[in-house]
Amino acid sequence: MKSFKQLAIIGSTASGKTSLSIELAKHTDAYILSLDSLSIYKEIDIVSAKPTEKEREGIKHFGINLLYPNENFDVKTFIDLYQKVYKQCLKDNKNLIIVGGTSFYLKMLIDGISQVPKISKKSMIKTQEKLKNTKHAHMILSRLDSIYMSNISPNDSYRIEKALNIYFETGFTPTQYFGKFPPIPIISEKLPIYQIEWDRELLRKRISLRTEIMLSSGLIDEVCTLEQKYGRKPNCMKSIGIKETLAYLDGGYNKTMLIEKIMTNTARLAKRQETFNNSQFKSVIKGSVEELRKILLQKSR
């Protein structure tokens, strides 16, 4: 059996990660694992800009179309998925390309996560009682653990629930608990990471073009269908492209404003993604799509 190789390609939205990863996968006999918080959902196709069957060019993709929009997931979903895909690659004698639009999940694969304790029924009851007022629960947790809660919104009932469960079950604040049970890396060997970089103005033009393509491909109809089937409560319904379209359907925007809002919010997301990537990953090989393409294809020979 050949030695297994894996690498990651990261970059902001609309940077060209998908096409580069597919081309490289064909040259390196690899599977592709998508780490994207929207592509994981079935029925969210246009907004997520996930590659179509034709665009995948016969390359097997994982992390796409796994869940329905009303199903929740967290970072552990991606960790379990990676472990499953890793085993599949070894079994099928394939390499692996990890493509991270949501680079936070890649960071967690490298750093690992702490094992959450099994929650007793007694602790669950206490947690549910506190969750009747999430803002008050957030305030209580903030007094106990201001550092951990500083990154959690008072409206984020999902993460507040997890923090309450840990506290009631163990008696430790989340910071204390995770300090006592530190994370174990999922990817233990060195992982080559390649980051696509774009001039900000050129990237904005790509975002503009993608937005126009989304609208002409049926974005509004897709969002209408999603709302009819799942309502507005699921977290994915608050994603860029969906939330602006819902506001348009409510009469808050005209179509010109809709396009501008999606473009602006996508550009802001791209900036946040770039900042995260630059601050969280070390020894990264950076360059334009063409520069990285030459490097990667040269190494694959």
Cβ atoms of 145 and 153 within 8 Å: the answer is: no
In words, the CATH class of domain 121-180 is mainly alpha
Residues in the chain: 301
Where are the domains positioned within the chain? 6-112+185-299, 121-180
Q: Two tokens at 25?
A: 């996968």
d(CA 121, CA 137): 19
d(CA 79, CA 114): 12
Cβ atoms of 80 and 105 within 8 Å: the answer is: no
CA distances from 53 to 36, 62, 63, 181, 274 (A): 17, 13, 14, 42, 28
Q: How far is CA 186 from the centre of its chain?
A: 17
Residue 210 CB: number of other CB atoms within 10 A? 17
The pLDDT tens digits along the chain (301 residues) read: 468 999 999 999 999 999 999 999 999 999 999 999 999 999 999 999 999 999 999 999 999 999 999 998 888 899 999 999 999 999 999 999 999 889 999 999 999 888 888 999 999 999 999 999 999 999 999 999 999 999 898 988 888 999 999 999 999 999 999 999 998 899 988 999 999 999 999 999 999 999 999 999 999 999 999 999 999 999 999 999 999 999 999 999 999 999 999 999 999 999 999 999 999 998 999 999 999 999 999 987 7
pLDDT at 299: 84
Tell me the per-residue pLDDT of 101-118, one tens digit each, with 9 for 90 and over: 899 999 999 998 888 889
- List Cβ neighbours of 275 (8 Å cut-off, separation of 6 or more): none
Cβ atoms of 203 and 14 within 8 Å: the answer is: yes
Q: How far is CA 246 from the centre of its chain?
A: 22
Tell me the per-residue pLDDT of 163-190, one tens digit each, with 9 for 90 and over: 999 999 999 999 999 999 998 899 988 9
Phi, psi of 12 (to 5 degrees): -70, 170
Query: Any idea which fold 6-112+185-299 has?
Result: Rossmann fold (3.40.50)
d(CA 152, CA 119): 21
Tell me the per-residue pLDDT of 60-84, one tens digit each, with 9 for 90 and over: 999 999 999 999 888 889 999 999 9
Cβ atoms of 69 and 54 within 8 Å: the answer is: no
- List Cβ neighbours of 254 (8 Å cut-off, separation of 6 or more): 248
| Bridge partners, 35 (sequence order) | 100
Cβ atoms of 57 and 26 within 8 Å: the answer is: yes
* SS3 category, 263: helix
Give the strand order in the sheet containing 285-287: 61-62, 30-35, 95-100, 6-10, 193-196, 285-287
245-264 per-residue burial string, b: 16 or more CB within 10 A, e: under 16: bbebeeeebeeeebbebbbe
* SS3 category, 104: helix
